[in-house]
Structure 1
């Protein structure tokens, strides 16, 4: 009998309860889901082995790589996942030789069967899911920082702790603190990545980005990994090839060390869920550096390239040598458009702004504070997070459009593609829409909120600030846990609440933190602003 899958880690999960059967909504097959569970179980075994045995110089990287590979829309390649499983098992054998074939089995380092989580009592399953999905998202951030040479031993150590706890027979009272600790450590991890990015590429600066694609050969780069983009820009300079960002790579245009490349031209396309349509006829290759890969259509399969932990069957993968020659050759072969092409954002705008990180926003903090005190700025809305295809996400576009003109919109992650080409005007010279960057740049939003609270001598929850968040995958989970760790309340989350929140856990979060589902833009604005 063919194995059936169970997966409920993303927002689009079937029936808002879980993908079962032969395939998930994301396109992941049952066998792939099973292998990802097997990989997670092997990682738990490796983490438990390291509790009593010293890790090697490769163990941390393998833990991060394994967790990152299980994030939604990262890796659909069964063979690649199987190779990862083999590497995890080999690492455990190197750390504890003979443990796997020991005649006196202690069970302490065995691989974990994930069914013990999926079949657990619903509140236990829910809390363990929050921990697991949180560390999967956090592993992506730690991985990007590690690639740039930045590591934090406290962050890395927590991955081992959290993985090991997943195998423990703990109750709610024991698991809840670990859920909150996941948020605390993720804050440290996002700070690490912020430092890695800014010290490597410079502090982001407000920048206007065009949707126009110039004639001639070009390459589209999607994902989150700024270092991959830097390497590609180096390898394509002086070749007559233009480079365009896509999806979460858009904020790259704000970093001085990336902007200095004149052939980094603009942004192609909108949010990740539109790629199957937008890439169908594109006369150029697409390089995927992280997640948000959708099942590849035949119409553009010959133009897709993957790197790092991203994988899809049959696609050309750029390995650790980072030789992008196959991508470059494909760009030259296809030749690009014969004339300049005028594209627009989701609302018809020809440009968008990005680069309002915490350094840029706090640089005009005096103007912002004066605007609030004078009444020119009544309220701030953080409207950001993951985008997705589920009906109802137009809520975020309408919310931004209907937000009064004396309010400021902070945004980040790919959810902004719903509205980031709108011209909302300015207040006292400050743009009403401030794009703070990628999803990990939630750290910038937190820095700004804490600085404003300090300036006004109040708590964050007393600021005229409301968070209207959209979620899709596991990086959104770890960010939410960070906000809860900071005690931020009354977050509105949508378009649906996570399927992995049991009734008991959901009631706890509602009672303690005031988390609420989004309703309608009109009703939510009325409730918030009065």
Structure 2
């Protein structure tokens, strides 16, 4: 195996024996082979798009498959093998359509060259060997490999957001068409300029996809509201839901109503507490625990059933007591856990097994008490725009610091807590994603009633932070988003954060600090381009970075 898609990658170079995330070599190789098969589908999909005969039958499959390969999402090799076999069947169907369409348009059979990804017809017993030949290192040139993988990794993040939107019935064919183009491009020899152009197009597509998901979420569940979220526990047994999928949240709340079972959020599901559609449920108690990497301890303490709707699910310790309480759904899979099948057309998922088990479990063990405040998505912040602008003009707010992104278990991530603690009291932190758990329970106060930590929501709600920045640019009459009193100090861990980073670059944001390390998938040559063009920089000491940010550097 060779994997360098997350921030934990060994020696910031690549995991070669076992993933630092816990991913075994066999799983990593099957993920590589699934991506290879998706590229084959995309080769034909791109051709059909260009011939005006677009085939959208594989769009959801591509999105779901890319999502399944994200760090800490799926751990079940059997499901990856099934997806590869399904991908081969789909590729053969779209190939037949391509050949038929080509002949109808050109009056002759197609006789051009096709890449291996579009023609390989391996049986299941050849998967292991083929996977070893088509992984990341199959691209020899370091800079070409870097650009191809940055594009693919960004696509994985885009796919995650597109999947959530599609589940709510929101799709844009141009997003899926770009996925065809981008995946197919990795099978061809392109110039560096062409590859960089595709990476930047991925950033534009990430913006469009996050905007689509924002529309899907707010149309379906209302705009997030400023909310005080309970972090204690009640006396009833409960179900803990983690991940990102709001449709699962809705159906779980509907099915648990009146059962005597409470519902709690965990990790990236915390922002569900901000949506008005969910607040009407009296048995929706609040949030339990912190970010994903604490889950071994927190899942043990919860005592009731645990529902993982998306990443991040970390491997269970051998001495765990909760595998029989662990349920997965959507792209998530784990050997020994109970998987909740996808909802039938026009129907809902069946969470009755979780509810029945919850009734037999004791209430959650209390980890903490009190409340935290969130819900500062773009609609709410723009409603406060006059107050924010006045605070900036009066000098009460000197600077905004965007500290969005991911949390992680490395000790160096204490940096983000220290930055939050040591920033001057005339600064406001804008956040989204699980990075917030490094500082959202600190008592940092407010500025004229404006909390010093404004939590917009999940990682995909980084779109809200972009909307806020663009609105402030308009209000202050600025020509360049980089002239705003905003600094970017981004924490990254996995592929959705890469999509967010590419989105910021596509919006023209420069001077982003990125940590705890620069991505291992950046070759020295590609890193040099990003530094020169966008002034991306690694984090430094807390003191040096705060001084630089306050000086607008």
Once residues 399 and 242 of structure 1 are traced to their aligned partners in structure 2, the CA distance between those partners, rounded to angstroms, is 36
1:32-43 equivalence runs, <5 A = 32-43=27-38
1:110 matched to 2:119? yes
User: Is the Cα–Cα contact under 8 Å of residues 33 and 135 in structure 2 kept in the other structure?
Assistant: no
TM-score (norm 2): 0.90
Q: Find 1:185's aligned residue among 188, 205, 217.
A: 205
How far off its partner does 1:335 sit?
Answer: 3.2
Of 457-466 and 45-54, the range deviating more from structure 2: 45-54
Aligned to 1:9: 5
Aligned position for 1:420 = 440
User: Is 1:294 the counterpart of 2:294 in the alignment?
Assistant: no
2:251 is aligned with 1:231:
yes
For the aligned residue pairs, the C-alpha RMSD in angstroms reads 1.9
Q: Is the Cα contact below 8 Å between 1:387 and 1:471 reproduced in 2?
A: yes
* 1:164 pairs with 2:159: no
CA shift for structure 1 position 447: 0.3
Secondary structure of 2:360's counterpart equals helix
Q: 2:539 aligns with which of 515, 518, 521?
A: 518
Query: Which residue among 391, 396, 405 is the counterpart of 2:411?
Result: 391
Map of 1:505 onto structure 2: 526
Any conservation in 1 of the 2:136–2:149 contact (CA below 8 Å)? no
Tell me what 2:346 maps to.
none
Pair 1:331-2:358 in alignment? yes
1:470 corresponding residue in structure 2: 491
> 1:281, 1:299 within 8 Å by CA — same for their partners in 2?
no
Cα distance in 1, alignment partners of residues 366 and 87 from structure 2: 48
Q: Is the 8 A contact 1:93 1:99 kept in 2?
A: no
In structure 1, the residue matched to 2:367 is 343
What's the secondary structure of 2:411's corresponding residue? Answer: coil
Deviations 1:360-418 (A, max 9, x none): 00001011111111111111011121001112000000100111111111111001001
Structure-1-length-normalised TM-score? 0.94
Shift of residue 107, structure 1, vs aligned partner: 2.7
CA contact (8 A) 2:44 2:98 kept: no
Q: State yes or no: 1:315 paired with 2:337.
A: yes
Q: Does 1:491 align with 2:512?
A: yes
Query: What residue in structure 2 maps to residue 47 of structure 1?
Result: 42
| Structure 1: runs of 5+ lacking an equivalent | none
Q: What is the rounded CA distance, in whole Å, between the counterparts of 2:97 and 2:471 in structure 1?
A: 54
Distance across 2 between alignment mates of 1:387 and 1:116: 26
* CA positional deviation for 1:106: 4.2
Deviation at 1:296, TM superposition (A): 2.1
The Cα of 1:342 is off from its aligned counterpart by 4.2
1: distance between equivalents of 2:223 and 2:110?
57
Match of 2:295? Answer: 275
Give the Cα separation in 1 of the matches to 2:374 and 2:80: 35
Question: Matched residues in 1 for 2:19 and 2:94: separation?
Answer: 36
The match for 2:123 is none
1:146 to 162, 166, 170: 166
> What CA distance in whole angstroms lies between the structure 2 residues aligned with 1:490 and 1:200?
36
Q: For the Cα contact (< 8 Å) 1:46–1:92, is it kept in 2?
A: yes
Distance 1:515 1:403 in 2: 21
Q: Distance in 2 between matches of 1:145 and 1:20?
A: 34
Number of matched pairs: 517
Structure 2: any 5+ residue segments left out of the alignment?
Answer: 100-108, 121-129, 344-348
Matches within 5 A, 1:5-84: 5-21=1-17, 23-53=18-48, 58-84=57-83
**What secondary structure is seen at the aligned counterpart in 2 of 1:19?**
coil
1 CA distance for matches of 2:425 and 2:113?
65
Q: Residue 125 of structure 2 aligns with which residue?
A: none
Question: Which of these residues, 253, 260, 263, is aligned with residue 240 of structure 1?
Answer: 260
- Indicate conservation of the 8 Å contact 1:69/1:75, yes or no: yes
Q: Which stretch shifts more, 103-112 or 387-396? A: 103-112
1:351/1:315 CA distance change after superposition, 3 Å = same
Give 1:119 deviation, angstroms.
Answer: 3.6
Q: Distance in 2 between matches of 1:286 and 1:465?
A: 38
- Which residue does 1:436 correspond to in 2? 456
Deviations 1:196-252 (A, max 9, x none): 000000000000111111122100000000111101111111001100000000000
Contact 2:223–2:275 (8 Å) recurs in 1: yes
Partner SS for 2:265: strand
- The partner residue of 2:216 within 196, 199, 216 is 196
Q: Which of the numbers 409, 415, 426 marks the counterpart of 2:429?
A: 409
Mapping 1:364-383, distance limit 5 Å? 364-383=384-403
